[in-house]
Structure 1
Amino acid sequence: MQTSTETQTGAYWQWREQPIYYVRSGDRHPQRPPLLLIHGFGASTDHWRKNIEGLSRDFEVWAIDLLGFGRSAKPDWQYSGDLWRDQLHEFITNVIGQPAVLAGNSLGGYSALCVAAQRPESAVGLVLLNSAGPFTEMQLTSKPDPFRQTMGTLIQSFLLQPLPSFLLFQYVRQRWVIRRTLESVYLDKSAITNQLVEDIYRPSCDSGAAKVFASVFKSPRGEKIDVLLNQLTCPLLLLWGEGDPWMNARDRGAQFRQYYPQLMEHYLQAGHCPHDEVPDQVNTLLREWVLNLGER
């Protein structure tokens, strides 16, 4: 019997004269929306392999490499949430051909939120897995430390210069550094396979990858999450890896609920990438939520 993995179809779509890689699996269902899976920083469609296999039994599943990542082109452009928002919106419009449920991890979650909030005709639902993105900073109650502020600005400015940025990129893309980073953000170390490390390492060898790395950190911070949530109208599911060392999932979940109280959420024993670390749990929760969308 043929498995879902064997029926995945990878292809390229031309967007703004740049080749964009995507994967499609599963059959279209008239009563169920398609799913669009969006990876985080430094990852690709490969990071959704376990989810595509599990979810394509019930849904038409698409996954896409954001411009600058994976097998997609890496032009010397300014990268931002607005750029990826437009890429995803036009992909849904021109390739998928109907509104989708967008599911995004980390940077992909922020990009998906931008689509759902600012291009609502493309989204029938939104699933965020340890989503990145800034909230509006509250007024500081204590006096800021001018020395620390100045040093922080100087260090950031130094790292954004071409040579230091290039050297930093060459360091962080080494396989052993990738593995060590994954070990710090995955609770289950057995999920960190050689294939996972290679999937992240391989795109870093592409021409233009170093400039993408620099551009992401140089770009101005995007629209604040609270502003986007105030624009959002579709159902929202939050799936949190509670062991994420890069964010306090409980505190961040409370911030989301403050601005979008009608959301649903679940906390899982996983790190920053719960879809890869506990894929069966994520697939089950996502499947049940999407199947019940019509009842909301």
Structure 2
Amino acid sequence: MSIIPQRSEMPSGTTYVAVGRGEPLVLIHGVGMKLEAWSPQIEALSEGFEVIAADLPGHGESAPLTGGTDLRDFVSRFLRFLTELGRGPVSVAGHSMGALIAAGLAVEAPELVRRVALLNGVHRRDPAARDAVRQRAAEIETGRFDREAPLRRWFGEGHEHEGAYALSRRLLAEVDQQGYATAYAAFANGDAVYADRWSEVICPALFLTGEGDLNSTPDMARAMAASTRLGQAVIISGHRHMVNLTAPEEVNAALADWMNRTGEEACHDA
């Protein structure tokens, strides 16, 4: 989309775009995607905010992390990115893997996070779901994996000719295999890393998912919201994992409402 300008790069190796003016909103995409996955949000929300969308390590044009990293390494990379931005406290929204990173930032770097939003975030998978996602991570590490399989989980059947599906397919086809494998391993093992610490987060926190998302479930969103001081769960009916692309108007409205909520100046008790 023409709304997305040429990327800039920080010394940390993170590439990003910044569009619009106003209070800063940082967007972090999910595994296998790149910042273009936020196109509807960049276009709509940049009318009232400065929207800063970044590529995950090893995705898009961002430098990779070395193999064997976990979620905390991704959080550390984005902590450095926020410091390099120099915007002071920002609002951070993440999707899927990006949601896990956003959660980590709210806990580990409270002085830099004004609000936090998790879109299609995972929280305490049950044993069967944990085993399944770890098995997928192992398959991706081998380089022999079906790049259509995530699309079937994310969208269900019958959506192959829709624009959101086509964009997601293209981004998955372009992702670097090792960058994908590294991020997916961290994603597969990251659902419980910050799960016990939501009660410490005191800033406005949004937990949004699709009603039909079988892996980032409505129950997960509600559980996180219930354990957070200013938590709010929003469930989008009739949609699944890529809800920011398939229901952009509803998601944009929820994000704009969250951006207008006030609370503490930081996301963590002193």
**TM above 0.5:** yes
Matches within 5 A, 1:104-143: 104-134=94-124
More moved, 101-110 vs 195-204 = 195-204
- 1:24 is aligned to 2:18: yes
Q: Distance in 2 between matches of 1:61 and 1:158?
A: 32
Deviates more, 1:36-45 or 1:261-270: 261-270
Distance 1:224 1:291 in 2: 26
Please point out which of 207, 214, 235 is paired with 1:238.
Answer: 207
Give, in angstroms, the shift of residue 211 of structure 1.
5.0
Which amino acid counterpart does residue 72 of structure 2 have in structure 1? D
2:182 corresponds to 1:212: yes
The residue aligned with 1:141 is none
Deviation (angstroms), 1:96: 4.2
**Matched residue pairs, number?**
262
Say if 1:9 and 1:254 are closer, same or farther in 2 by CA, change over 3 A. Answer: same
Q: Flag the 1:110–1:201 CA change in 2: closer, same or farther, 3 A.
A: same
- Which structure has the larger Rg over C-alpha atoms? 1
| Distance change in 2, residues 1:287/1:10 (3 Å) | same
Q: How does the TM-score come out when normalised to structure 2?
A: 0.82
Aligned-residue Cα RMSD (Å) equals: 3.4
Q: Which runs of 5+ in 1 are unaligned?
A: 138-143
More helix by share: 1
The DSSP-based 3-state class of the residue aligned with 1:87 is: helix
Report matched runs for 1:1-296 at 5 Å.
5-6=2-3, 8-15=5-12, 19-27=13-21, 29=22, 33-134=23-124, 160=138, 166-167=141-142, 169-173=143-147, 176-177=148-149, 179-184=151-156, 190-204=162-176, 208-209=178-179, 212=182, 215-216=185-186, 223-225=193-195, 227-249=196-218, 251-260=219-228, 262-269=230-237, 270-293=239-262
Please tell me the residue identity of whatever aligns with 1:203: V
Task: State the alpha-carbon separation in 1 of the partners of residues 91 and 56 from structure 2.
Answer: 17
Aligned with 2:8: secondary structure? Answer: strand
Change (3 A) 1:158 1:198: closer
Residue type at the aligned position of 1:13: M
Identity %: 23
**Residues 185 and 242 (structure 1), Cα distance of their counterparts in 2 relative to 1, 3 Å cut:** farther
Does the Cα contact within 8 Å between 2:122 and 2:217 map onto a contact in 1? no
With structure 1 as the length reference, what TM-score do the two structures score?
Answer: 0.75
What is the Cα deviation at residue 165 of structure 1? 5.2
Give the letter aligned to residue 228 of structure 2: Y
Query: The residue matched to 1:42 in structure 2 has which SS?
Result: coil
Do the aligned partners of residues 158 and 72 (structure 1) sit closer, same or farther apart at CA in structure 2, a change above 3 Å counting?
closer
* Contact 2:97 2:187 survives alignment (8 Å): no
1:102-151 deviation digits (Å, cap 9, x = unpaired): 0011111111011011210110001111112437x8xxxxxx9xxx9xxx
**Can you list the C-alpha shifts for 1:222-250, whole angstroms capped at 9, x where unaligned?**
5241x22022121111222111122431x
Identify unmatched segments of 5+ residues in structure 2.
266-270
- Aligned-pair CA distance for 1:204: 3.0
C-alpha spacing 1:241/1:56, structure 2 compared with 1 (3 Å): same
- Offset, 1:203: 1.6
* Separation (CA, whole Å) in 2 of partners of 1:64 and 1:210: 16
The separation in 1 between residues aligned to 2:188 and 2:233, in whole angstroms, is 32
Distance of 1:92 and 1:9 partners within structure 2: 19
